[in-house]
Amino acid sequence: MVEGKMFLKVPGETVYLALIRKVIVELAEKVGFPEEEVARIEMAVDEACTNVVKHSYNGHKEAQVKAGYQWRREDEVGQPIDLRVKINTEKISIVLTDRGKGFDPNQFKPDLDEYLKSMEMGGLGIYAIKTFMDEVHYSHEPAVGNVLTMVKYFKR
């Protein structure tokens, strides 16, 4: 069992979601989660980060690509997503922090039957996060921002 901490800070832009997924998948695999649980952890983290980019930082301008490189003016750089991971013998804890708009996660209680009838994509991010992780806690701290903690326990 590997124990430790990891910290990653990236701009809150869609182009960085693949990097976050890669880091989370490799960590979850390395510490011994089975493939199915790795996929659930990956999906929960991806949904949470996507929500930050789409909703918390929705006014941000995406990077432009020229000659194969992404570029933007300094004043266009997106607010960051801070990803902290702590692993011990019992669990993996993933804490996402952003400095965007706050929200009330309890206001999102989807009616799955209606959702399936509507055939619309999106809108189940918070539901998926709560379904795939063992614990989910959200807080908005004025000096820090939005803090989402997701925990997955090792099955014994």
Q: List Cβ neighbours of 42 (8 Å cut-off, separation of 6 or more).
A: 21, 24, 25, 28
Q: List Cβ neighbours of 36 (8 Å cut-off, separation of 6 or more).
A: none
User: Taking residues 101-106, what's their average pLDDT?
Assistant: 68
User: Taking residues 129-134, what's their average pLDDT?
Assistant: 93
Task: State how many domains the chain has.
Answer: 1
Distance CA 82, CA 84 (A): 7
Res. 115: pLDDT tops 50: no
Res. 59: pLDDT tops 90: no
What is the CATH number for 61? 3.30.565.10
Residue 139 phi/psi, 5° resolution?
Answer: -145, 155
Domain hosting residue 104, numbered range: 4-153
Q: Contact, 60 vs 68, CB < 8 A?
A: no
Q: Tell me, what's the pLDDT at 149?
A: 97
pLDDT band at 101 (very low <50, low <70, confident <90, very high): confident
Q: Tell me, what's the pLDDT at 91?
A: 96
User: What are the pLDDT digits (tens) for 8-34?
Assistant: 999 888 889 999 999 999 999 999 999
pLDDT band at 154 (very low <50, low <70, confident <90, very high): very high
Q: Tell me, what's the pLDDT at 108?
A: 57
Res. 137: pLDDT tops 80: yes
